[in-house]
Chains A and B, each alone.
Chain A
Amino acid sequence: MSKNIWVSLSVIVLGVLAIYLISGVRPDIIFKSIIVSAFGSIYGITETLTKSIPLMLCGIGLSAAFKSSIWNIGAEGQLLMGAVGATWIALYVMPNAPRLILLTVMFLAGAIFGALWAFVPAILKIKFNLNEIIISLMMNYIAIEIVNYLVYGPWRSPFEWGFPYSTKFPSNAQIPRFLDTRIHYPTLLLALFLAVFVHILLKRSKLGYEIKVIGENMEAAKYAGLNISRIIVVILLLSGGLAGLAGVGEVAGIHHRLRVASGISPGYGYTAIIVAWLGKLNPLLIIPVSLLFGGLLVGGDSIQVSLGLPGATINFINGLVLIFVMAQGFSNNRIFVKKGRNRV
Protein backbone atom coordinates (compact mmCIF):
# COMPACT_ATOMS: atom_id res chain seq x y z
CA MET A 1 0.00 0.00 0.00
CA SER A 2 2.72 2.48 0.90
CA LYS A 3 4.38 1.70 -2.42
CA ASN A 4 1.19 2.74 -4.13
CA ILE A 5 1.12 6.08 -2.35
CA TRP A 6 4.45 6.93 -3.96
CA VAL A 7 3.09 5.82 -7.30
CA SER A 8 0.08 8.07 -6.86
CA LEU A 9 2.14 11.04 -5.79
CA SER A 10 4.54 10.71 -8.68
CA VAL A 11 1.59 10.43 -11.08
CA ILE A 12 0.23 13.74 -9.84
CA VAL A 13 3.62 15.47 -9.90
CA LEU A 14 4.38 14.21 -13.41
CA GLY A 15 0.93 15.20 -14.62
CA VAL A 16 1.19 18.72 -13.27
CA LEU A 17 4.66 19.03 -14.75
CA ALA A 18 3.29 17.87 -18.11
CA ILE A 19 0.59 20.54 -18.09
CA TYR A 20 3.24 23.15 -17.34
CA LEU A 21 5.66 21.99 -20.02
CA ILE A 22 2.97 21.79 -22.69
CA SER A 23 0.93 24.89 -21.95
CA GLY A 24 3.55 27.11 -20.37
CA VAL A 25 1.10 28.12 -17.65
CA ARG A 26 2.41 27.69 -14.14
CA PRO A 27 0.59 24.88 -12.27
CA ASP A 28 0.04 26.94 -9.13
CA ILE A 29 -1.76 29.54 -11.25
CA ILE A 30 -3.91 26.83 -12.83
CA PHE A 31 -4.88 25.32 -9.48
CA LYS A 32 -5.46 28.69 -7.87
CA SER A 33 -7.67 29.66 -10.78
CA ILE A 34 -9.66 26.42 -10.50
CA ILE A 35 -10.13 26.72 -6.75
CA VAL A 36 -10.96 30.42 -6.73
CA SER A 37 -13.49 30.14 -9.55
CA ALA A 38 -15.15 27.06 -8.06
CA PHE A 39 -15.16 27.87 -4.35
CA GLY A 40 -13.94 31.46 -4.00
CA SER A 41 -17.21 33.32 -4.50
CA ILE A 42 -20.89 32.86 -3.81
CA TYR A 43 -21.50 32.62 -7.55
CA GLY A 44 -18.74 30.03 -7.90
CA ILE A 45 -20.15 27.93 -5.10
CA THR A 46 -23.65 27.97 -6.53
CA GLU A 47 -22.31 26.94 -9.94
CA THR A 48 -20.28 24.16 -8.33
CA LEU A 49 -23.39 22.95 -6.57
CA THR A 50 -25.36 23.10 -9.81
CA LYS A 51 -22.81 21.01 -11.68
CA SER A 52 -22.58 18.51 -8.86
CA ILE A 53 -26.25 17.52 -9.26
CA PRO A 54 -25.86 15.37 -12.40
CA LEU A 55 -22.59 13.93 -11.07
CA MET A 56 -24.37 12.89 -7.89
CA LEU A 57 -27.28 11.23 -9.66
CA CYS A 58 -25.07 9.40 -12.15
CA GLY A 59 -22.49 8.52 -9.50
CA ILE A 60 -25.04 6.99 -7.13
CA GLY A 61 -26.38 4.70 -9.85
CA LEU A 62 -22.91 3.75 -11.01
CA SER A 63 -21.82 2.88 -7.49
CA ALA A 64 -24.52 0.20 -7.33
CA ALA A 65 -23.45 -1.13 -10.73
CA PHE A 66 -19.72 -1.13 -9.98
CA LYS A 67 -20.34 -2.76 -6.63
CA SER A 68 -21.75 -5.74 -8.46
CA SER A 69 -18.80 -5.47 -10.91
CA ILE A 70 -21.15 -4.60 -13.72
CA TRP A 71 -19.31 -2.00 -15.72
CA ASN A 72 -21.89 0.49 -16.85
CA ILE A 73 -19.81 3.03 -18.78
CA GLY A 74 -22.96 4.34 -20.43
CA ALA A 75 -24.18 6.94 -17.93
CA GLU A 76 -23.44 9.66 -20.47
CA GLY A 77 -25.84 8.19 -23.03
CA GLN A 78 -28.42 7.33 -20.37
CA LEU A 79 -28.33 10.92 -19.15
CA LEU A 80 -28.85 12.22 -22.68
CA MET A 81 -31.76 9.87 -23.31
CA GLY A 82 -33.30 11.06 -20.05
CA ALA A 83 -33.08 14.57 -21.45
CA VAL A 84 -34.81 13.39 -24.63
CA GLY A 85 -37.60 11.74 -22.63
CA ALA A 86 -38.22 14.87 -20.57
CA THR A 87 -38.24 17.07 -23.67
CA TRP A 88 -40.71 14.79 -25.41
CA ILE A 89 -43.14 15.00 -22.49
CA ALA A 90 -42.67 18.74 -22.01
CA LEU A 91 -43.11 19.73 -25.64
CA TYR A 92 -45.18 17.04 -27.31
CA VAL A 93 -47.14 14.94 -24.83
CA MET A 94 -48.65 17.17 -22.18
CA PRO A 95 -47.21 20.69 -22.43
CA ASN A 96 -50.30 22.20 -20.80
CA ALA A 97 -50.38 20.02 -17.68
CA PRO A 98 -50.09 21.67 -14.27
CA ARG A 99 -46.52 22.06 -13.05
CA LEU A 100 -46.40 19.37 -10.37
CA ILE A 101 -47.90 16.72 -12.62
CA LEU A 102 -45.86 17.73 -15.64
CA LEU A 103 -42.54 17.73 -13.78
CA THR A 104 -43.34 14.39 -12.13
CA VAL A 105 -44.14 12.81 -15.47
CA MET A 106 -41.01 14.33 -16.99
CA PHE A 107 -38.82 12.84 -14.27
CA LEU A 108 -40.54 9.49 -14.68
CA ALA A 109 -40.12 9.59 -18.43
CA GLY A 110 -36.47 10.56 -18.07
CA ALA A 111 -35.84 7.68 -15.69
CA ILE A 112 -37.59 5.26 -18.05
CA PHE A 113 -35.68 6.48 -21.10
CA GLY A 114 -32.38 6.25 -19.24
CA ALA A 115 -33.26 2.81 -17.92
CA LEU A 116 -34.26 1.58 -21.38
CA TRP A 117 -30.93 2.79 -22.73
CA ALA A 118 -29.19 0.74 -20.05
CA PHE A 119 -31.46 -2.20 -20.78
CA VAL A 120 -29.72 -2.75 -24.12
CA PRO A 121 -26.32 -3.66 -22.61
CA ALA A 122 -28.17 -5.62 -19.90
CA ILE A 123 -30.11 -7.80 -22.30
CA LEU A 124 -27.12 -8.26 -24.60
CA LYS A 125 -25.03 -9.33 -21.64
CA ILE A 126 -27.59 -11.89 -20.59
CA LYS A 127 -28.68 -13.23 -23.96
CA PHE A 128 -25.47 -12.84 -25.96
CA ASN A 129 -22.86 -12.84 -23.23
CA LEU A 130 -21.56 -9.52 -24.56
CA ASN A 131 -19.33 -7.29 -22.49
CA GLU A 132 -21.43 -4.43 -21.11
CA ILE A 133 -18.48 -2.02 -21.25
CA ILE A 134 -18.31 -1.94 -25.03
CA ILE A 135 -22.07 -2.02 -25.56
CA SER A 136 -22.84 0.73 -23.04
CA LEU A 137 -20.11 2.84 -24.64
CA MET A 138 -21.51 2.32 -28.13
CA MET A 139 -24.90 3.38 -26.76
CA ASN A 140 -23.29 6.67 -25.63
CA TYR A 141 -22.21 7.50 -29.15
CA ILE A 142 -25.64 6.56 -30.50
CA ALA A 143 -27.40 8.72 -27.88
CA ILE A 144 -25.23 11.71 -28.79
CA GLU A 145 -26.25 11.37 -32.44
CA ILE A 146 -29.93 10.96 -31.52
CA VAL A 147 -29.93 14.19 -29.52
CA ASN A 148 -28.09 16.03 -32.28
CA TYR A 149 -30.42 14.58 -34.91
CA LEU A 150 -33.44 15.80 -32.97
CA VAL A 151 -32.19 19.35 -32.45
CA TYR A 152 -30.93 19.71 -36.03
CA GLY A 153 -33.94 17.90 -37.45
CA PRO A 154 -37.50 17.20 -36.35
CA TRP A 155 -37.39 19.00 -32.99
CA ARG A 156 -35.55 22.09 -34.17
CA SER A 157 -37.38 25.25 -33.22
CA PRO A 158 -38.11 27.83 -35.90
CA PHE A 159 -37.96 30.57 -33.26
CA GLU A 160 -34.32 30.35 -32.16
CA TRP A 161 -32.51 32.39 -34.83
CA GLY A 162 -31.12 29.30 -36.49
CA PHE A 163 -29.58 27.79 -33.33
CA PRO A 164 -29.92 24.02 -33.02
CA TYR A 165 -32.35 24.25 -30.12
CA SER A 166 -35.71 22.69 -29.48
CA THR A 167 -38.58 25.00 -28.64
CA LYS A 168 -38.27 26.49 -25.14
CA PHE A 169 -40.06 24.49 -22.45
CA PRO A 170 -43.36 25.96 -21.20
CA SER A 171 -42.87 27.54 -17.79
CA ASN A 172 -44.69 24.64 -16.12
CA ALA A 173 -42.00 22.29 -17.44
CA GLN A 174 -39.18 24.29 -15.88
CA ILE A 175 -37.77 23.08 -12.59
CA PRO A 176 -37.76 25.94 -10.06
CA ARG A 177 -34.40 27.34 -9.05
CA PHE A 178 -33.09 28.66 -5.76
CA LEU A 179 -33.34 32.48 -5.82
CA ASP A 180 -31.40 33.82 -8.80
CA THR A 181 -28.89 30.96 -8.94
CA ARG A 182 -29.02 28.06 -11.37
CA ILE A 183 -29.45 25.52 -8.56
CA HIS A 184 -32.56 23.58 -9.54
CA TYR A 185 -33.11 22.50 -5.96
CA PRO A 186 -35.86 19.91 -6.48
CA THR A 187 -33.38 17.83 -8.48
CA LEU A 188 -30.76 18.35 -5.80
CA LEU A 189 -33.18 17.22 -3.09
CA LEU A 190 -34.12 14.23 -5.23
CA ALA A 191 -30.43 13.35 -5.58
CA LEU A 192 -29.84 13.62 -1.83
CA PHE A 193 -32.91 11.51 -1.13
CA LEU A 194 -31.78 8.88 -3.63
CA ALA A 195 -28.29 8.82 -2.12
CA VAL A 196 -29.79 7.84 1.20
CA PHE A 197 -32.25 5.46 -0.45
CA VAL A 198 -29.60 3.62 -2.47
CA HIS A 199 -27.30 3.56 0.54
CA ILE A 200 -29.97 1.78 2.55
CA LEU A 201 -30.81 -0.43 -0.41
CA LEU A 202 -27.20 -1.54 -0.67
CA LYS A 203 -26.71 -1.96 3.07
CA ARG A 204 -29.97 -3.42 4.24
CA SER A 205 -31.97 -5.01 1.45
CA LYS A 206 -31.85 -8.44 -0.10
CA LEU A 207 -30.88 -6.85 -3.41
CA GLY A 208 -27.99 -5.10 -1.69
CA TYR A 209 -26.80 -8.41 -0.35
CA GLU A 210 -27.08 -10.02 -3.76
CA ILE A 211 -25.15 -7.14 -5.33
CA LYS A 212 -22.37 -7.68 -2.83
CA VAL A 213 -22.20 -11.41 -3.48
CA ILE A 214 -22.18 -11.01 -7.25
CA GLY A 215 -19.58 -8.28 -7.07
CA GLU A 216 -17.26 -10.37 -5.02
CA ASN A 217 -17.65 -13.59 -6.90
CA MET A 218 -19.96 -14.03 -9.86
CA GLU A 219 -19.31 -17.77 -10.12
CA ALA A 220 -20.00 -18.43 -6.47
CA ALA A 221 -23.18 -16.38 -6.73
CA LYS A 222 -24.31 -18.61 -9.59
CA TYR A 223 -23.66 -21.75 -7.54
CA ALA A 224 -25.46 -20.22 -4.60
CA GLY A 225 -28.51 -20.13 -6.84
CA LEU A 226 -28.81 -16.39 -7.28
CA ASN A 227 -30.72 -15.31 -10.35
CA ILE A 228 -27.81 -13.41 -11.86
CA SER A 229 -29.66 -12.36 -15.02
CA ARG A 230 -32.46 -10.73 -13.07
CA ILE A 231 -30.02 -8.88 -10.83
CA ILE A 232 -27.96 -7.65 -13.79
CA VAL A 233 -31.10 -6.24 -15.37
CA VAL A 234 -32.28 -4.61 -12.14
CA ILE A 235 -28.90 -3.01 -11.48
CA LEU A 236 -28.52 -1.65 -14.98
CA LEU A 237 -32.10 -0.34 -15.00
CA LEU A 238 -31.44 1.34 -11.67
CA SER A 239 -28.22 3.02 -12.70
CA GLY A 240 -29.61 3.95 -16.11
CA GLY A 241 -32.72 5.40 -14.50
CA LEU A 242 -30.69 7.55 -12.13
CA ALA A 243 -28.58 8.86 -15.00
CA GLY A 244 -31.80 9.58 -16.89
CA LEU A 245 -33.01 11.72 -13.96
CA ALA A 246 -29.79 13.71 -14.23
CA GLY A 247 -30.64 14.42 -17.85
CA VAL A 248 -34.09 15.68 -16.90
CA GLY A 249 -32.48 18.03 -14.40
CA GLU A 250 -30.16 19.46 -17.04
CA VAL A 251 -32.77 20.24 -19.68
CA ALA A 252 -35.64 21.18 -17.37
CA GLY A 253 -33.56 22.88 -14.67
CA ILE A 254 -30.85 24.66 -16.64
CA HIS A 255 -31.29 24.89 -20.40
CA HIS A 256 -35.11 24.80 -20.59
CA ARG A 257 -34.78 23.18 -24.01
CA LEU A 258 -33.04 20.33 -25.75
CA ARG A 259 -29.78 21.36 -27.37
CA VAL A 260 -26.79 19.58 -28.90
CA ALA A 261 -25.41 16.79 -26.73
CA SER A 262 -22.14 18.55 -25.91
CA GLY A 263 -24.17 21.54 -24.68
CA ILE A 264 -26.22 19.39 -22.31
CA SER A 265 -23.37 17.40 -20.83
CA PRO A 266 -19.64 18.12 -20.82
CA GLY A 267 -19.13 14.44 -20.02
CA TYR A 268 -20.97 14.18 -16.69
CA GLY A 269 -21.51 10.47 -17.31
CA TYR A 270 -17.78 9.82 -17.66
CA THR A 271 -16.75 12.06 -14.76
CA ALA A 272 -19.31 10.23 -12.63
CA ILE A 273 -17.27 7.04 -13.07
CA ILE A 274 -14.40 8.69 -11.21
CA VAL A 275 -16.81 10.19 -8.69
CA ALA A 276 -18.22 6.75 -7.93
CA TRP A 277 -14.81 5.18 -7.33
CA LEU A 278 -13.38 8.11 -5.39
CA GLY A 279 -16.55 7.92 -3.30
CA LYS A 280 -15.64 4.29 -2.59
CA LEU A 281 -18.92 3.20 -4.21
CA ASN A 282 -20.71 4.59 -1.17
CA PRO A 283 -23.73 6.73 -2.16
CA LEU A 284 -23.35 8.98 0.88
CA LEU A 285 -19.67 9.61 0.22
CA ILE A 286 -20.53 10.38 -3.38
CA ILE A 287 -22.27 13.58 -2.27
CA PRO A 288 -19.10 15.43 -1.16
CA VAL A 289 -17.04 13.92 -3.98
CA SER A 290 -19.61 15.23 -6.47
CA LEU A 291 -19.17 18.71 -5.04
CA LEU A 292 -15.43 18.42 -5.52
CA PHE A 293 -15.80 17.39 -9.14
CA GLY A 294 -18.54 19.93 -9.76
CA GLY A 295 -15.93 22.46 -8.67
CA LEU A 296 -13.38 20.96 -11.01
CA LEU A 297 -15.81 21.40 -13.92
CA VAL A 298 -16.48 25.02 -12.97
CA GLY A 299 -12.73 25.56 -12.69
CA GLY A 300 -12.26 23.87 -16.04
CA ASP A 301 -14.57 26.38 -17.72
CA SER A 302 -12.77 29.20 -16.00
CA ILE A 303 -9.22 28.20 -17.03
CA GLN A 304 -10.40 28.03 -20.62
CA VAL A 305 -11.54 31.61 -20.50
CA SER A 306 -8.94 33.18 -18.20
CA LEU A 307 -5.81 31.18 -19.06
CA GLY A 308 -6.63 30.07 -22.60
CA LEU A 309 -6.12 26.39 -21.76
CA PRO A 310 -8.10 23.87 -23.80
CA GLY A 311 -11.13 22.19 -22.26
CA ALA A 312 -9.26 18.91 -22.51
CA THR A 313 -7.10 19.97 -19.56
CA ILE A 314 -9.85 18.84 -17.22
CA ASN A 315 -10.02 15.50 -19.01
CA PHE A 316 -6.33 15.12 -18.34
CA ILE A 317 -6.72 16.00 -14.66
CA ASN A 318 -9.62 13.54 -14.44
CA GLY A 319 -7.45 10.81 -15.92
CA LEU A 320 -4.73 11.58 -13.38
CA VAL A 321 -7.21 11.38 -10.53
CA LEU A 322 -8.48 8.04 -11.79
CA ILE A 323 -4.96 6.63 -11.91
CA PHE A 324 -4.43 8.00 -8.43
CA VAL A 325 -7.59 6.30 -7.20
CA MET A 326 -6.63 3.05 -8.81
CA ALA A 327 -3.09 2.98 -7.51
CA GLN A 328 -4.44 3.65 -4.04
CA GLY A 329 -6.20 0.35 -4.32
CA PHE A 330 -9.70 1.73 -3.80
CA SER A 331 -10.68 -0.77 -6.40
CA ASN A 332 -8.22 -3.54 -6.03
CA ASN A 333 -9.45 -6.44 -8.07
CA ARG A 334 -7.59 -9.01 -6.06
CA ILE A 335 -10.89 -9.72 -4.41
CA PHE A 336 -12.48 -10.68 -7.69
CA VAL A 337 -11.89 -14.32 -8.40
CA LYS A 338 -11.88 -15.61 -11.94
CA LYS A 339 -14.76 -14.82 -14.16
CA GLY A 340 -16.07 -17.63 -16.26
CA ARG A 341 -14.79 -18.53 -19.65
CA ASN A 342 -16.54 -17.23 -22.72
CA ARG A 343 -17.20 -13.89 -21.18
CA VAL A 344 -16.67 -11.84 -24.32
Chain B
Amino acid sequence: MKQTFAELGYPGRLVAVEGLDGSGKSTQIYLLKRWLEMQGLKVFFSEWNSSALVKSATSKGKKQNLLTPTTFSLIHATDFADRYERQLVPLLKAGYLVLCDRYIFTAFARDVVRGCPPEWVRGVYSFAALPDLTFFFKASLEVSLSRILDNRPTLKHHEAGMDLDLSPDPYESFRIFQGRIFEQYLAMSTEFRFMVMDANLRIEEQQGIVRRLLAAQVNLASFQRG
Protein backbone atom coordinates (compact mmCIF):
# COMPACT_ATOMS: atom_id res chain seq x y z
CA MET B 1 0.00 0.00 0.00
CA LYS B 2 1.23 3.45 -0.89
CA GLN B 3 2.13 5.92 1.83
CA THR B 4 1.51 9.59 2.42
CA PHE B 5 4.31 12.12 2.81
CA ALA B 6 3.68 12.24 6.57
CA GLU B 7 3.95 8.45 6.77
CA LEU B 8 7.19 8.64 4.81
CA GLY B 9 8.62 11.06 7.36
CA TYR B 10 8.69 14.22 5.24
CA PRO B 11 8.48 17.43 7.25
CA GLY B 12 6.20 18.97 4.58
CA ARG B 13 2.57 18.14 3.83
CA LEU B 14 0.80 17.81 0.52
CA VAL B 15 -2.81 18.82 0.05
CA ALA B 16 -4.55 17.97 -3.22
CA VAL B 17 -7.87 19.01 -4.65
CA GLU B 18 -9.66 16.84 -7.17
CA GLY B 19 -12.95 17.03 -8.97
CA LEU B 20 -14.53 17.71 -12.32
CA ASP B 21 -13.94 20.87 -14.30
CA GLY B 22 -16.51 23.31 -12.97
CA SER B 23 -16.64 21.78 -9.49
CA GLY B 24 -15.14 24.92 -7.98
CA LYS B 25 -11.99 23.19 -6.72
CA SER B 26 -9.59 25.76 -8.18
CA THR B 27 -11.42 28.58 -6.43
CA GLN B 28 -11.23 26.71 -3.15
CA ILE B 29 -7.56 25.91 -3.34
CA TYR B 30 -6.81 29.51 -4.33
CA LEU B 31 -8.62 30.80 -1.26
CA LEU B 32 -6.86 28.25 0.90
CA LYS B 33 -3.51 29.35 -0.48
CA ARG B 34 -4.27 33.02 0.23
CA TRP B 35 -5.24 32.21 3.80
CA LEU B 36 -2.05 30.23 4.42
CA GLU B 37 0.17 32.83 2.79
CA MET B 38 -1.30 35.61 4.87
CA GLN B 39 -0.39 33.70 7.97
CA GLY B 40 3.20 33.77 6.79
CA LEU B 41 3.44 30.06 6.17
CA LYS B 42 5.70 28.25 3.73
CA VAL B 43 3.26 27.46 0.93
CA PHE B 44 3.74 26.31 -2.62
CA PHE B 45 1.05 25.88 -5.26
CA SER B 46 1.33 23.54 -8.23
CA GLU B 47 -1.00 22.95 -11.13
CA TRP B 48 -1.60 19.89 -13.26
CA ASN B 49 0.05 19.91 -16.68
CA SER B 50 2.31 22.89 -16.11
CA SER B 51 5.93 21.81 -16.45
CA ALA B 52 7.55 24.05 -19.05
CA LEU B 53 9.52 21.56 -21.08
CA VAL B 54 6.83 18.94 -21.33
CA LYS B 55 4.23 21.57 -22.13
CA SER B 56 5.61 22.10 -25.60
CA ALA B 57 5.20 18.43 -26.48
CA THR B 58 1.80 18.19 -24.81
CA SER B 59 0.35 21.16 -26.65
CA LYS B 60 1.80 19.99 -29.95
CA GLY B 61 0.36 16.54 -29.41
CA LYS B 62 -3.04 17.90 -28.51
CA LYS B 63 -3.16 20.42 -31.31
CA GLN B 64 -2.20 17.94 -33.97
CA ASN B 65 -4.25 15.12 -32.48
CA LEU B 66 -1.19 12.96 -32.26
CA LEU B 67 -2.10 11.49 -28.92
CA THR B 68 -3.44 8.03 -28.26
CA PRO B 69 -4.71 7.00 -24.78
CA THR B 70 -1.27 5.59 -23.99
CA THR B 71 0.80 8.55 -25.15
CA PHE B 72 -1.73 10.92 -23.57
CA SER B 73 -1.21 9.10 -20.30
CA LEU B 74 2.57 8.95 -20.59
CA ILE B 75 3.06 12.57 -21.54
CA HIS B 76 1.02 13.69 -18.54
CA ALA B 77 2.98 11.28 -16.36
CA THR B 78 6.18 12.85 -17.70
CA ASP B 79 4.89 16.30 -16.86
CA PHE B 80 3.89 15.16 -13.41
CA ALA B 81 7.23 13.44 -12.77
CA ASP B 82 9.08 16.59 -13.76
CA ARG B 83 7.15 18.68 -11.25
CA TYR B 84 7.26 15.92 -8.66
CA GLU B 85 10.99 15.38 -8.70
CA ARG B 86 12.12 18.97 -9.23
CA GLN B 87 9.59 20.87 -7.13
CA LEU B 88 7.23 18.87 -4.98
CA VAL B 89 9.71 16.50 -3.35
CA PRO B 90 12.42 19.11 -2.63
CA LEU B 91 9.82 21.51 -1.19
CA LEU B 92 8.26 18.79 0.93
CA LYS B 93 11.71 17.93 2.21
CA ALA B 94 12.21 21.60 2.98
CA GLY B 95 9.05 21.53 5.08
CA TYR B 96 6.55 23.27 2.80
CA LEU B 97 2.81 23.01 2.62
CA VAL B 98 2.34 22.02 -0.99
CA LEU B 99 -1.06 22.61 -2.57
CA CYS B 100 -1.83 20.71 -5.75
CA ASP B 101 -4.66 21.54 -8.10
CA ARG B 102 -5.14 17.94 -9.28
CA TYR B 103 -2.81 15.10 -8.40
CA ILE B 104 -2.39 11.48 -9.56
CA PHE B 105 -6.14 10.77 -9.18
CA THR B 106 -6.85 12.99 -12.17
CA ALA B 107 -4.68 10.67 -14.25
CA PHE B 108 -6.20 7.57 -12.69
CA ALA B 109 -9.69 8.78 -13.62
CA ARG B 110 -9.02 10.16 -17.10
CA ASP B 111 -6.66 7.51 -18.38
CA VAL B 112 -8.89 4.69 -17.26
CA VAL B 113 -11.88 6.32 -18.96
CA ARG B 114 -9.73 6.53 -22.09
CA GLY B 115 -9.17 2.78 -21.92
CA CYS B 116 -5.78 2.37 -20.27
CA PRO B 117 -5.64 -0.58 -17.86
CA PRO B 118 -6.05 0.73 -14.27
CA GLU B 119 -3.18 -1.37 -12.88
CA TRP B 120 -0.86 -0.07 -15.58
CA VAL B 121 -1.70 3.58 -14.89
CA ARG B 122 -1.30 3.09 -11.15
CA GLY B 123 2.00 1.35 -11.73
CA VAL B 124 3.28 4.22 -13.85
CA TYR B 125 2.50 6.68 -11.04
CA SER B 126 3.70 4.41 -8.26
CA PHE B 127 6.79 6.58 -7.72
CA ALA B 128 4.53 9.27 -6.23
CA ALA B 129 3.54 9.27 -2.55
CA LEU B 130 -0.09 9.88 -1.57
CA PRO B 131 -1.30 13.32 -0.48
CA ASP B 132 -1.68 13.91 3.23
CA LEU B 133 -5.10 15.32 2.55
CA THR B 134 -7.22 15.03 -0.61
CA PHE B 135 -10.36 17.09 -1.05
CA PHE B 136 -12.78 15.78 -3.62
CA PHE B 137 -15.22 18.45 -4.72
CA LYS B 138 -18.38 16.61 -5.45
CA ALA B 139 -20.86 18.76 -7.27
CA SER B 140 -23.78 17.18 -9.01
CA LEU B 141 -22.78 16.34 -12.54
CA GLU B 142 -25.41 18.73 -13.92
CA VAL B 143 -24.06 21.65 -11.88
CA SER B 144 -20.48 21.05 -13.03
CA LEU B 145 -21.56 20.66 -16.60
CA SER B 146 -23.66 23.80 -16.65
CA ARG B 147 -20.86 25.84 -15.04
CA ILE B 148 -18.67 24.92 -17.97
CA LEU B 149 -21.17 24.62 -20.78
CA ASP B 150 -23.43 27.60 -20.03
CA ASN B 151 -20.89 29.99 -21.52
CA ARG B 152 -20.79 27.84 -24.66
CA PRO B 153 -16.97 27.64 -24.56
CA THR B 154 -14.92 26.22 -27.38
CA LEU B 155 -14.10 22.82 -25.98
CA LYS B 156 -10.73 21.43 -26.91
CA HIS B 157 -10.66 18.04 -28.57
CA HIS B 158 -9.28 16.08 -25.62
CA GLU B 159 -11.05 18.16 -23.02
CA ALA B 160 -14.35 17.13 -24.58
CA GLY B 161 -13.20 13.52 -24.78
CA MET B 162 -13.69 13.65 -28.56
CA ASP B 163 -10.89 11.10 -28.95
CA LEU B 164 -13.24 8.52 -27.44
CA ASP B 165 -15.87 8.77 -30.18
CA LEU B 166 -18.63 9.15 -27.63
CA SER B 167 -20.62 11.57 -29.75
CA PRO B 168 -19.97 13.73 -32.81
CA ASP B 169 -21.29 16.71 -30.81
CA PRO B 170 -18.52 18.12 -28.59
CA TYR B 171 -20.97 19.21 -25.89
CA GLU B 172 -22.68 15.85 -25.75
CA SER B 173 -19.28 14.14 -25.80
CA PHE B 174 -18.12 16.35 -22.91
CA ARG B 175 -21.20 15.40 -20.87
CA ILE B 176 -20.66 11.67 -21.33
CA PHE B 177 -16.92 11.97 -20.76
CA GLN B 178 -17.30 13.99 -17.54
CA GLY B 179 -19.95 11.56 -16.33
CA ARG B 180 -17.53 8.67 -16.68
CA ILE B 181 -14.75 10.56 -14.93
CA PHE B 182 -17.15 11.36 -12.12
CA GLU B 183 -17.83 7.63 -11.68
CA GLN B 184 -14.11 6.94 -11.51
CA TYR B 185 -13.68 9.55 -8.78
CA LEU B 186 -16.52 8.07 -6.77
CA ALA B 187 -15.02 4.61 -7.11
CA MET B 188 -11.66 5.85 -5.78
CA SER B 189 -13.02 7.96 -2.98
CA THR B 190 -12.99 5.34 -0.20
CA GLU B 191 -9.78 3.66 -1.27
CA PHE B 192 -7.81 6.91 -1.19
CA ARG B 193 -9.67 8.44 1.75
CA PHE B 194 -10.93 11.49 -0.10
CA MET B 195 -12.46 14.25 2.00
CA VAL B 196 -15.68 14.50 0.05
CA MET B 197 -16.81 18.12 -0.16
CA ASP B 198 -20.34 19.13 -1.03
CA ALA B 199 -19.49 21.43 -3.90
CA ASN B 200 -23.10 22.58 -4.17
CA LEU B 201 -22.64 24.61 -0.97
CA ARG B 202 -21.80 28.34 -1.03
CA ILE B 203 -18.15 29.17 -1.69
CA GLU B 204 -17.66 30.56 1.83
CA GLU B 205 -19.23 27.55 3.49
CA GLN B 206 -16.93 25.24 1.61
CA GLN B 207 -13.88 27.34 2.37
CA GLY B 208 -14.74 27.32 6.06
CA ILE B 209 -14.84 23.53 6.04
CA VAL B 210 -11.61 23.23 4.06
CA ARG B 211 -9.75 25.54 6.47
CA ARG B 212 -11.09 23.77 9.55
CA LEU B 213 -10.23 20.33 8.21
CA LEU B 214 -6.71 21.36 7.29
CA ALA B 215 -6.09 23.05 10.63
CA ALA B 216 -7.36 19.94 12.44
CA GLN B 217 -5.06 17.64 10.56
CA VAL B 218 -1.92 19.74 10.22
CA ASN B 219 -0.10 21.77 12.84
CA LEU B 220 -0.05 24.97 10.80
CA ALA B 221 2.15 26.87 13.26
CA SER B 222 5.06 24.58 12.43
CA PHE B 223 5.05 25.85 8.84
CA GLN B 224 6.02 29.41 9.75
CA ARG B 225 8.60 31.00 7.49
CA GLY B 226 12.17 31.59 8.64
Does B associate with A?
no
**Footprint of B on A, CB under 8 Å?**
none
